[in-house]
Structure 1
Amino acid sequence: MQFSGRRRKVITSPQVELYGQALQFYGQPPLENMSLSEFESFAVDRLKLLKTIENLGVSYVKLSDDYKRKLDNESRNLNFPYRPDAVPDDRKSQVGPSEYEKRRKDHISHFILRLAYCQTEDLRRWFIQQEVDLFRYRFNGLQPKQKVEFLHKNNLQYDTISVEEKKTLQDKLVNSSHNVSGITVEDQDFYKVPFQDALDLVRTRKVYLKAGYVYIPHQDIVAIVLNDFRTRLSKALALTARSLPAVHSDERLQPLLNHLSHAYVGQDYSIQKNVGKISLEQIDSLSVKSFPLCMRQLHQALRDSHHLRHGGRMQYGLFLKGIGLSLEQALQFWRSEFIRGKVDADKFDKAYAYGIRHMFGKEGKRADYTPYSCMKVILSNLPSQGDHHGCPFRHSDPELLKQKLQFYKVSPSGISQILELVKGMHYQLACQKYFELTHSIEEASFSLNHPNQYFIESQRVLGGGKDIKREVGTPQRSQENSAARGSTADREAAAAANAAKDLPEMTEDLDSFFQDA
């Protein structure tokens, strides 16, 4: 892929043929020139689409009417292709300029995010899962004829069984395949596929298995296609990772790709609209009511040991800054806590006060650092032994996480739901479920991406929809409440485009681009 300062579109014959298809395996990379601004725009829009898919996959049954309707709307809003059956019949076979641009954007943006999300195993796993879900949604939206054409164009040579074999196996096929009757057996194709290529169907007992082969009705061939797509994409990401050194040599692309891999699409919490609205006396009670689990964990660790390591101080300190603590309040808060431990006032002023002023842009490069987002907490600066930062849903042992949730009076059924999300690596959604359970609401009206977002939404729920109010609270310093303030490490884990660690490397224009996205 080449990029130039001026937009110049070169469309080759292979590209025209490629975009003539309603769906593709992304086997052929883009060949045209494009501007860096378009590169950024395409990448951010696709990231928004994939984040929507992740959230919908937990909130709704995949491919249910609600799921498809919401994904249709998001695809339309972001100018991506959506289900062909959402287009009038007389236009389904046409590829006009508008549809062509959507398919071009879909193609290019996929390859851009490949570059950003091939860098680590966690990033690759997340990207593959969302792309597979997107592919499933699109493939199921194809008409039967389009599905057959797709299989043929992509050399998916699955053999259909003969009429005689269908008659011989009719009873077996009817009894083992859902939505198949004696009548429909004769009217549809069945594919004979090695069972290892259809493990999902075998596991759910949706197909007939004989002598190492499964017999799959035409409407269920999507499971095989998805397996093929997943395998191809996994191999492609591994190959892409090998080319990263060459890509990172481009000074324009390296910061952008790093930004994308840690980016979340949401509000910028660097603007302190609430400065002065939070008093030091309120922090203890707020940690119990409105802190995400990651911050609650850090607060308890600080109260118990009167100290946090650098990673914890950065994560928790920037969070407190984001919810409205001023520099003067922050210095007072950290000093009073540290001198309760093994640090005297003089040592604190010499060794720790500088770091706090640095967070607020008063020292060093004077960058006004922003609170960590959830992706930033999940993917960077992993906690080691003795650390308390990070995301509890990502970095805690499942049994320890279960104990924390039990201590915080989460119901057994709620704990099971959270642990199931954690098992599926949906860490932000697990935190959102924790929010719903601890605030006694059926379904959150927002998509959680940031610890400070968690706090703001909590205050709105507790305040009946009103903004944060300052109220004089009394510190809760008993041993029981000190323990209750404990486990808070998650919501900071969501992809911070403007994380403190990354800011010096990013250009000012690029930072503002992601903040405004």
Structure 2
Amino acid sequence: MQFTGRRNKFGTNLQTELYLQPLQFYGQPPLENISLSEFETFAVERLKLLKTVENLGVSYVKQSEQYKQKLEKELKNLNFSYRPDAVDKDNKESSKKPPQNGPSELEKRRKDHISHFILRLAYCQTEDLRRWFIQQEVDLFRYRFNELQPIQKLEFLHKNNLQYDAISVEEKKNLKDNLVSSSYAVSGIKVELEEFYKVPFQDALDLVRTRKVYLKDGFAYIPHQDIVTIVLNDFRTRLSKALALTARSLPAVHSDERLQPLLNHLSHAYVGQDYSIQKNVGKISLEQIDSLSGKSFPLCMRKLHQALRENHHLRHGGRMQYGLFLKGIGLSLEQALQFWRMEFTRGKVDADKFDKAYAYSIRHMFGKEGKRTDYTPYSCMKVILSNPPSQGDYHGCPFRHSEPELLKQKLQFYKVSPSGVSQIMELVKGMHYQLACQKYFELTHNVEDTSFSLSHPNQYFLESQKLLGGGKDIKREADTPQRSQENSAPRGSSAADASEHLAETTEDLDAFFVDV
């Protein structure tokens, strides 16, 4: 595809010069042709990176050593730039020995540049998407800026017209007591060695608001280590304006039939395993479902299961979400037909009506009718962002779609501790719904820190089974049917081998579910 104009791989000299810089504000769009395949790959890998940034920001103190180590590892794995001086090192090393395998630092910076602009197109469409994108990009930018050497930080400020002058030694000496008392991060011993910048106070409102800087005559005196706050405010403002401008151009972009489906899917994209591939088909008996729902189902599926048992019916949104989840954990087509028929006929649906109105849709879900597509269980992003529940519905994400007080009551009913409820509600308040679910997993499984990043209900189930059963395959046992959630743990199951994909293909299935 083409962004603007026709250019070679690294564009004009201006763009090549841009990639020589270790950091940028993404003010200049890419000026080269790329293939649709590269477009999709870059977008998915940056999305993986930003989701990692989000998870780390909640799980660890930002800029702590553990946070930085894990983020650097992810940047390496996805081939994004992470070494500020890497271009100079690459140039020196290339003259001494043959080129190494893998992309060069310039290629990594090119990928970083292009992928940022692709996700701008996908995440400018709604206020919620813009807010999420800005927050993750700001956190990523903070990490990269803090990794720069002092001289590189000054060069970056000057190149981006943030030319804040350091105060003189004499002025620093005269203001020493004030600087020490107002800039608590700087001890009296270090003031002589620390650079201070004289900045218009309106450019440092965050620092002024938290009383971290000395104010005099309309200027804030900022220690070098806090200058990142000024840079981040500027970056956030520029990116927010850029997303608003990008949103205006969407009609023209959506006229390209190649790009529209890709961009629409990216904002809802799930980039993990495909749980439509069933490794444990038939290894779960119907009698086990009640017990499993209390021990290994995520809250969204636990809610659907309880509603089905109580009402003997689910509307089509709930049947799709829950039915595909059960398919993903190992129910065969025959088991699924038996399960739904048995439950619906306990209510107002007789066997004949079930066969006419519902059986076809279940066979279609398993790829035995219609286009014979093997439909994929819903990811967390799909549950959160599409088809919100209305009155009488039980599908959706409880952390996203439940009233806070009702969610709190449900958590308390499931024996989550008061401190755990508070932690979950804080994550919900910050709109970190998947992280709230992961915290629910940790609290209900008595683990302090999970080794995975939760992004799929079926992943929740498999991780629970591995934890409770020692990583062994599910052993089919004829448990006594029961409605209450018990504490006896079934055997675990290993995760299904699966391929990565950009978006799920369940939309066509909607037409085959009939509300009665």
Task: Work out the CA distance in 2 between the residues paired with 1:210 and 1:392.
Answer: 50
Corresponding position of 2:82: 82
Task: Work out the CA distance in 1 between the residues paired with 2:216 and 2:371.
Answer: 68
Task: Work out the CA distance in 1 between the residues paired with 2:318 and 2:201.
Answer: 49
Corresponding position of 1:110: 116
- CA 1:295–1:203 in 2, change beyond 3 Å: closer, same or farther? farther
Corresponding position of 2:24: 24
Task: Work out the CA distance in 2 between the residues paired with 1:186 and 1:233.
Answer: 36
- CA 1:95–1:248 in 2, change beyond 3 Å: closer, same or farther? farther
Task: Work out the CA distance in 1 between the residues paired with 2:105 and 2:450.
Answer: 34
Corresponding position of 2:54: 54
Corresponding position of 2:447: 441
2:237 is the counterpart of 1:239 = no
Corresponding position of 2:411: 405
Corresponding position of 1:173: 179
From 219, 222, 236, give the equivalent of 1:216: 222
Corresponding position of 1:466: 472
AA in 2 matched with 1:313 = R
Task: Work out the CA distance in 2 between the residues paired with 1:7 and 1:14.
Answer: 12
Corresponding position of 1:34: 34
- CA 1:253–1:316 in 2, change beyond 3 Å: closer, same or farther? same
Corresponding position of 2:360: 354
From 273, 282, 285, give the equivalent of 2:291: 285
AA in 2 matched with 1:45 = E
Query: Which secondary structure does the structure 2 equivalent of 1:84 belong to?
Result: coil
Checking the alignment, whether the CA contact within 8 Å between 1:84 and 1:92 is kept in structure 2 is no
Checking the alignment, whether the CA contact within 8 Å between 2:145 and 2:228 is kept in structure 1 is yes
- Unaligned runs of 5+ residues in structure 1 are 482-494, 505-517
Corresponding position of 1:129: 135
- CA 1:24–1:233 in 2, change beyond 3 Å: closer, same or farther? same
- CA 1:476–1:503 in 2, change beyond 3 Å: closer, same or farther? closer
AA in 2 matched with 1:189 = E
The runs of 4+ residues in structure 1 deviating greater than 6 Å are: 92-97
Spell out, residue by residue over 1:96-123, the C-alpha distance to the aligned partner (whole angstroms, 9 max, x if none).
7821111111101111111111122222
Spell out, residue by residue over 1:374-395, the C-alpha distance to the aligned partner (whole angstroms, 9 max, x if none).
1111111111222211111111
Corresponding position of 1:491: none
Query: Which secondary structure does the structure 2 equivalent of 1:57 belong to?
Result: helix
Task: Work out the CA distance in 2 between the residues paired with 1:174 and 1:336.
Answer: 74
Corresponding position of 2:89: 91
2:330 is the counterpart of 1:332 = no
Task: Work out the CA distance in 1 between the residues paired with 2:127 and 2:390.
Answer: 19
Q: Decide which moves more: 328-337 or 18-27.
A: 328-337
- CA 1:214–1:458 in 2, change beyond 3 Å: closer, same or farther? same
Task: Work out the CA distance in 1 between the residues paired with 2:466 and 2:10.
Answer: 51
Corresponding position of 1:266: 272
- Deviation at 1:349? 2.1
- CA 1:38–1:120 in 2, change beyond 3 Å: closer, same or farther? same
- Deviation at 1:197? 3.7
Checking the alignment, whether the CA contact within 8 Å between 1:456 and 1:468 is kept in structure 2 is no
Spell out, residue by residue over 1:251-276, the C-alpha distance to the aligned partner (whole angstroms, 9 max, x if none).
22122222222222211101111110
Spell out, residue by residue over 1:39-69, the C-alpha distance to the aligned partner (whole angstroms, 9 max, x if none).
1221122112112212221222111111111
User: Structure 2 length as normaliser, TM-score?
Assistant: 0.88
1:353-392 paired onto structure 2 within 5 Å = 353-392=359-398
Corresponding position of 1:452: 458
Task: Work out the CA distance in 2 between the residues paired with 1:364 and 1:27.
Answer: 48
Task: Work out the CA distance in 1 between the residues paired with 2:206 and 2:21.
Answer: 27
1:160-199 paired onto structure 2 within 5 Å = 160-161=166-167, 165-199=171-205
- Deviation at 1:362? 2.2
Checking the alignment, whether the CA contact within 8 Å between 2:266 and 2:502 is kept in structure 1 is no
Query: Which secondary structure does the structure 2 equivalent of 1:215 belong to?
Result: strand
Query: Which secondary structure does the structure 2 equivalent of 1:465 belong to?
Result: coil
Checking the alignment, whether the CA contact within 8 Å between 2:7 and 2:32 is kept in structure 1 is no
Root-mean-square deviation (CA, aligned residues, Å) is: 2.6
Corresponding position of 1:485: none
User: Structure 1 length as normaliser, TM-score?
Assistant: 0.88
1:456-495 paired onto structure 2 within 5 Å = 456-477=462-483
Task: Work out the CA distance in 1 between the residues paired with 2:3 and 2:502.
Answer: 26
Checking the alignment, whether the CA contact within 8 Å between 1:10 and 1:33 is kept in structure 2 is no
Checking the alignment, whether the CA contact within 8 Å between 2:3 and 2:31 is kept in structure 1 is no
Corresponding position of 1:15: 15
Checking the alignment, whether the CA contact within 8 Å between 1:370 and 1:499 is kept in structure 2 is yes
- Deviation at 1:164? 5.3
- Deviation at 1:212? 5.9
AA in 1 matched with 2:326 = L
Corresponding position of 2:329: 323
